[in-house]
Structure formats: structure tokens, C-alpha cells
Structure 1
């Protein structure tokens, strides 16, 4: 604790001076001789080393306890030592705890965090990992008691949470599949090979669009040439780009109101012919126009 206070004073002086204090300035602030400060620092370092070395066995025990797939015991021991060092720095004898009891929490925290980060590809909050552990333990305990696994609702009631969170936590540690893995039962086919290409339309969709276009063309051919052209350009039939009334007025060299009237008359004819739903379906499928 004395060493912690000395370090705190050193930090405070650095902030006040805008630089690190000299060894003599540090000793004067502590109201001791530089030789005495040097002796105290050596003693603190020796004590710290002894405290760490005497709890290395605890680090190894925790590392073995929390090791998960994808982690190595050496990595977890290193993380545990980091937690031990932090715990030693924070240890306060005035609180009445034993050192081993206090540093155990810091060791477990460091090891668990490292274990989670290294065992799964996606970043997972520690509170979710904690819930995952509690869910698994609860399910195992109930299975031992009655011989059947509990439902998510039963586990949620026991843990005081929701069934949705239990489901999420239970499936948290599933490892992702590689696209290079073979399809079960097919040694020569990978998962990548059976994934649909989002850039290529399915043959069924292509056929549906072709049939829809053919039916719409039959209805549009019953209109006057200008009416057909106005609707074709207005709703992007053919090229998928719908035009505004302003664009059509320039294209036909007519006023916006005149173009609107032609469009309205053409739509009325299509409605009488029973093709309004057909046009609406086509527009929804091929364009971004939402006027219909």
C-alpha cells in the first residue's frame, strides 16, 4: 500500500509539473532521503515479485478451468498473469481480504475474456458469455435431476430472464462453418458451390418476369401509340427507369398538365380492360415507381 501511495504521488507530480519529477524531487515530496526512497522501492519490488510468484499456481488452475476450443493454455496463463499483476497493484490489506481471494477475481476476469475472444470469431459481450455459462449449468443440473432437458421457458424462469435471451445465450458459442467445408454426404461438393449467386436471377424469376411482360404488352397494345409511350416511359416499362411529368413534358414537347391527362386517360382504359393490377405488379417488380 505504501508503494501504491508513492506511485500515486509520482503521477500527481508529473501532472502538475508537466514532466516526470526527478528522483530527488520525488523523495523531497515524500519527506524522505533519496537513499530511503531507493530502499523502499527495492523492497516494494521484492514484495510484489513474491506476491506474484506465490499465486502462479492459482493462475494455472484458472487457465485450465476456463480453457475453450481455439485457445492454448500458454496464452491463458499469460492473460492470467496480467490479471494477477493488476490484482496485486489494487490489493488493499485494510479491507480484510486475503491476497489469493482478492486476486482470484482479477485472474478469472482476464482469463475468461481472453478465452472468449480467442474461441469465437465474433466479438461477444462478457455479460452474454456469463449468461451462456449459467444457462448451460442450469440445463445440466435439471437434466441430472429428471433425466430430460428443460425448455428455454423453464430455464428463463429459473434465471429470471426471457426465453429469447436463453435461446441466444445457449447458441452463443457455436463455431461458424467454413465455406470450404464439404456438404454433409458429398465429399466432392463444398458449401461455397451450393450457395446461390445474388447477382444471378433464378430461372423461375426470369420466367415469371417474362410472362408478366408478355401479358402487359398485350394490354398496352390496345392503347393509342402516344398513350402507350407515355405509360411506358412514365413507369419505366422496358428499361426500369421511370420518368417524371417534367421529363415527359420535354420529351413530347407538351405541358405537364397535358401529359398528366394522357396518363390518366391511359390508366382509365387499362382499368376498364382489367389490366390495372397487372401494371401495378409489373411496376412493383421492375421499377421504383410507387405512384400506382
Structure 2
């Protein structure tokens, strides 16, 4: 229609030749506006096509992938513009698309849901709640009751200041004051507990004894890492310290793996060179993880070194 409206036969051109350009323009514009899930403006789409062409030309001329600065210089654009347009050129896909053609499984099965907590976070939250509940009992009865009601530590629904004030017969402001006072005491108790744990670890390290927990009790490890890393099992220390196998081969739980990975312990060698005191200072790395690491490392040693020599 546009070609018919604009066509002027007095110019001496054929209508078919004239209309072809309008048809091509309409097709390009339709592709630009309809082919992407997220619409890109026509002017930006034209620049994206120019960037693609310039990239291919520079790659052929330079023998390598051109940088954004080189593409920008070629097209007389800013580096920021080129970077933004290349970001807009990414292909979108559906979460229901198969990961690989001809095979089962879609992207929604492997992409994590950021709105839900991971098992590790759930475990950490449960441990923190358990730890707080153990310290709440050291507060005064009225403070315990208010914290239990406000935060649902007793298993019930957390209540508002108004609901708590009606339940205990105090004003909302007084409930708020008692709550802040109880939280401060709770924070001090947590800090004291951490200091006691660090002091116990320091003393255990200096004395060369088995490590103790926050309550001062000795942790009975079946196979201390120091023993596994020595010559008492009939193999050289260098064998284990030079083992580059990832710690995932030890068969550890996800909680232990994540705790160790956060401290850049990724191989068996990294783990073997750490002592007991260091491991027990890792956050959320409790006695169960401590014991699991030792048992798994001992089993790995038996499997990889002792049995092979036999």
C-alpha cells in the first residue's frame, strides 16, 4: 500500500522495481519487531546488524575475536553503546526448552529458584534457631515469654506488639523496651559463647590435644587428620598432600562441601594440610561435619593408597 501511494509513473521507473524496496523494508521491520521476545527499536536493530557485520570483518582481518573497543572504532560508536547493543542481541529461550535436542530434561529443572531457600540455608537457619533457643532459657521468664511470642520460638505464629501487650498486660511501648533489652542480653550471650569457643580452640592448638567444643568437652575423633597425614599408616605424607582429587570424591554431604569450599578448601591436599583447630573455627562446621570429614578422608586413604599397594 505504501508503494502504491508513493509511486510516481512520471519518474520513469517500473512499479515492480519501486515497490520491491518498500516490501523489503516492511519485511525487515517486521522481523526486527516480531522476531524477538523482547522488542528492540528499529534504529537499535540496525546498529546490531552493523555490529555483527563489523565483527565478522574484523575477525577475518585480525585473525581473532575483535574487542568492543575495536568494533566501536570501526563503526564510529562509543564502547558503551557497542556493549549495550551486544547485550540486547542475546537470544531468549523458554524454560521449557530441552537442554539438548533429542534428550529429556528442560532448563527449568536445572535453574535454581532464587525465591526458595537451599537445603544448606535451611540447615543453618535451624541450627541458629536451636542455638538461640538454648540461650533464651538464660533470660528472665518475662523476657523469654516476650521473645517466644514475638518471634514464634515456641512454634506458634509470631505476634505483634499489640497482641503481646494484651497477653501480658503491659503497654506496647513497655513490651518493645523489654524486647530490646532481651535482644541485647541475647547478643552478649552469643558473643561470649564465640569467645569461649575461640579460646578453647587456641588452648587446644597450643597444647596439641584433641580439639574441644564450645562447652569445653573433648571431641573424640576416630581418625584425626594429623594422623592420616603422617607416616603412621605406612605411606609417605607427600602422597596425600600431593593428591589433587577434588573433595567431592570424598562423598561428603553438601553442607560439609559448601563449608570447606567457602574457605578455599577444594582438593584432598587442601584438606589434609589443615589441622583440627582450623576446621572447627569454620562457621556452621560442627562436630558432625568434623567427624564426617575424618571418616571420609580415612576411607579415601584406604581406597586410594592402602588397597592399591596391596
Q: TM-score interval w.r.t. the shorter chain? A: 0.5 to 0.7
The two structures have a TM-score, normalised by structure 1, of: 0.53
Gaps of 5+ in 1: 1-84, 279-292
Does the aligned pair in 1 maintain the 2:33–2:41 contact within 8 Å?
no
Q: Which residue of 2 aligns with 1:39?
A: none
Following superposition, the deviation at residue 179 of structure 1 comes to 4.0
* Structure-to-structure mapping, 1:34-53, within 5 angstroms: none
Does the aligned pair in 1 maintain the 2:59–2:66 contact within 8 Å?
yes
Partner of 1:149, secondary structure, is coil
* Structure-to-structure mapping, 1:1-292, within 5 angstroms: 85-91=1-7, 106-170=22-86, 172-184=88-100, 187-196=103-112, 201-237=117-153, 243-274=159-190
Q: What is the alpha-carbon distance in structure 2 between the residues aligned to residue 182 and residue 267 of structure 1?
A: 51
Gaps of 5+ in 2: 195-310
Does the aligned pair in 1 maintain the 2:98–2:106 contact within 8 Å?
yes
More displaced 10-residue stretch of structure 1: 222-231 or 259-268: 259-268
Q: What is the alpha-carbon distance in structure 2 between the residues aligned to residue 241 and residue 131 of structure 1?
A: 57
Deviations 1:237-281 (A, max 9, x none): 466965443332222111234323322332332233235999xxx
> RMSD between aligned alpha carbons?
3.8
Q: What is the alpha-carbon distance in structure 1 between the residues aligned to residue 118 and residue 21 of structure 2?
A: 56
The two structures have a TM-score, normalised by structure 2, of: 0.50
Q: What is the alpha-carbon distance in structure 2 between the residues aligned to residue 251 and residue 97 of structure 1?
A: 94
Following superposition, the deviation at residue 143 of structure 1 comes to 2.4
Q: What is the alpha-carbon distance in structure 1 between the residues aligned to residue 28 and residue 12 of structure 2?
A: 23
Does the aligned pair in 2 maintain the 1:216–1:275 contact within 8 Å?
no
Following superposition, the deviation at residue 217 of structure 1 comes to 0.8
Deviations 1:116-161 (A, max 9, x none): 3443333222122111111011112222333223111221233343
Q: What is the alpha-carbon distance in structure 2 between the residues aligned to residue 139 and residue 251 of structure 1?
A: 71
Q: What is the alpha-carbon distance in structure 2 between the residues aligned to residue 239 and residue 136 of structure 1?
A: 60
Partner of 1:130, secondary structure, is helix
Instruction: Choose 1 or 2 for highest CA Rg.
Output: 1
Which of the two has greater helix per residue? 1
Partner of 2:139, secondary structure, is coil
Does the aligned pair in 1 maintain the 2:68–2:82 contact within 8 Å?
yes
